[in-house]
A and B are shown apart, each in its own frame.
Chain A
């Protein structure tokens, strides 16, 4: 079973703060890494699919980087807004599939 760690488990920030969280995974047999945003009472929504070591993706105020050699990915949110409040899940590969980490729950306080 793939051991995926995400840290921190939860995070509270003030509106306007920038923040980042980490996804750690075994670095062998890498195929791709996904980031998803999961808002309460909704379904997970894909943010990024990352496939190359050193890959950097950006979507608005959210960006992500990937280091496959050391087995980690960072997700950054610049100038957090209350609508960014959600659980952020990473999903590294497992065989031909991917498995979800436990998530980082972000709360942005107005």
Chain B
């Protein structure tokens, strides 16, 4: 158990809908990362937050947004969903958010858009 909690584990929704994925980092970790793994693709970095502030942005679509709250949990909002958004979404956390700190991954949320 990495200490990172993601909910829900599975989500099935229709095209055009909006969903929210939730992540609780390890106790004491200030940084949260979001990654997407589509079929036959590697882990694609979406966005990083550190202590409530956006720190880095990757290949995140404009239809997607995220935030980190004062209690350090994070939410990834996906809107106007398309079939191609079906993927496994991972959240990871690290203590400092810099590249010297290992990231600890949650179990992921599997999103299926039908």
Q: A-side interface residues toward B, CB under 8 Å?
A: 31-32, 34, 42-46, 49, 51, 89, 93, 95-103
Contacts A43-B90, A44-B43, A100-B42 given: A93-B103 contact, CB under 8 Å? Answer: no
Task: Tell whether, in the assembled complex, residue B56 and residue A95 are in contact, meaning their CB atoms are under 8 Å apart.
Answer: yes
Task: Tell whether, in the assembled complex, residue A43 and residue B102 are in contact, meaning their CB atoms are under 8 Å apart.
Answer: no
Interface residues of B in 38-66 (CB under 8 A from A): 42-43, 45, 48, 55-56, 58
A-B contact count (CB 8 A): 54
With a cutoff of 8 Å between Cβ atoms, the chain A residues found around residue B107 in the complex are 42-43
- Chain A min CB distance to B50 (Å): 9
Max chain A C-beta neighbours (<10 A), residue from B42, B55, B101 = B42
Contacts A95-B56, A96-B55, A100-B43 given: A43-B100 contact, CB under 8 Å? Answer: no
With a cutoff of 8 Å between Cβ atoms, the chain B residues found around residue A99 in the complex are 45, 58
Is B17 positioned at the interface, with any CB of A under 8 Å from its CB?
Answer: no
Task: Tell whether, in the assembled complex, residue A97 and residue B102 are in contact, meaning their CB atoms are under 8 Å apart.
Answer: no
Task: Tell whether, in the assembled complex, residue B102 and residue A46 are in contact, meaning their CB atoms are under 8 Å apart.
Answer: yes
Give 21 pairs: A residue, B residue, CB < 8 Å, sorted on A. A31-B99, A32-B100, A34-B102, A42-B107, A43-B106, A43-B108, A44-B92, A46-B102, A46-B103, A46-B104, A49-B102, A51-B100, A89-B42, A93-B99, A96-B55, A96-B99, A97-B33, A99-B58, A100-B35, A100-B43, A101-B42
